[in-house]
């Protein structure tokens, strides 16, 4: 785990999970700073789930890999996450989803920012299913739009955190201009 510099403007976080319901659990988490430096990148041993076939199709994380390893549980990680995240600006792509899998105490005093919502607003496509809201775009499409070249495989926590960073940088630097390749 890297130390957070006092000059850190924001952190970018992503998780991979056993599924999409509130009963599901995190399987991995990655946190990078605004410069793309890895602060935390670890798999997580779930405490209630022993298999996750549908999620495994997407994230490639197998129960065999998780349970044969010596990975921490979320309870083990909670003190680390509290130190890293409390009082920070934390950017996530789909923050409503990722925050469900984090200990509430880890985000105490933090400003949580949803990159997906900001990107959806930037794209400006009305959502026919949700009147008055913008259509949500998957991270892969957002990364493609900003011409991000993937480091790692999509649907891995670290790869997705770095892609989110690229999309966030694009939005911060270039809200109204044409996409330019974002290098991290």
pLDDT digits (tens, 9 = 90+) for 76-112: 999 999 999 999 999 999 999 999 999 999 999 999 9
- What whole-number percentage of the chain has pLDDT above 90? 87
Q: Please state, in angstroms and rounded to a whole number, the distance separating the CA atoms of residues 135 and 1.
A: 36
Tell me the whole-structure pTM to 2 decimals. Answer: 0.89
pLDDT of residue 18 exceeding 50: yes
pLDDT of residue 23 exceeding 80, the answer is yes
Mean predicted confidence (pLDDT) in 46-66 = 96
Region 151-158: what's the mean pLDDT? 92
Tokens of 167: 């999309």
Confidence of residue 181 (pLDDT cuts 50, 70, 90): very low
Q: Which residues contact 49 (CB under 8 A, 6 or more apart)?
A: 18, 24, 25
Domain extents in the chain: 11-173
When pLDDT is averaged across residues 70-80 and rounded to a whole number, the result is: 98
Give the model's pLDDT for residue 120.
95
Which of these ranges, 112-121, 146-155, 156-165, 170-179, has the smallest mean pLDDT?
170-179
pLDDT score at 152: 85
- In terms of C-beta density within 10 A (0-12 exposed, 13-18 middle, 19 or more buried), how is residue 77 classed? buried
pLDDT at position 4? 55
Mean pLDDT, rounded, of the chain: 91
pLDDT for the residue 5: 56
In terms of CATH architecture, what is 11-173?
A: 2-Layer Sandwich (3.30)
pLDDT of residue 133: 92
CA gap 182, 150 in Å, rounded: 11
CB-CB neighbours of 160 under 10 Å: 29
Share of the chain above pLDDT 70, in %: 90
The whole-number pLDDT of residue 183 equals 40
Average pLDDT over residues 133-155: 94
């Amino acid at each position: 785990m890297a130390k957070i510099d006092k000059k850190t403007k924001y952190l970018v976080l992503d998780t991979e999970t056993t599924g999409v319901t509130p009963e599901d659990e995190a399987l991995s988490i990655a946190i990078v700073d605004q410069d793309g430096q890895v602060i935390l990148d670890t798999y997580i041993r779930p405490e209630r789930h022993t298999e996750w076939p549908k999620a495994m199709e997407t994230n490639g994380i197998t129960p065999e890999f998780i349970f044969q390893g010596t990975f921490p549980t979320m309870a083990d990680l909670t003190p680390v996450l509290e130190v890293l995240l409390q009082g920070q600006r934390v950017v996530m792509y789909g923050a409503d989803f990722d925050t469900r899998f984090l200990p509430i105490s880890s985000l105490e005093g933090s400003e949580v920012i949803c990159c997906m919502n900001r990107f959806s607003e930037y794209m400006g496509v009305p959502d026919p299913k949700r009147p008055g809201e913008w259509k949500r775009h998957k991270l892969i499409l957002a990364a493609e739009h900003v011409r991000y070249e993937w480091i790692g495989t999509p649907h891995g926590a670290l790869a997705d955190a770095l892609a989110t960073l690229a999309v966030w940088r694009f939005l911060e630097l270039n809200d109204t201009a044409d996409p330019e390749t974002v290098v991290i």
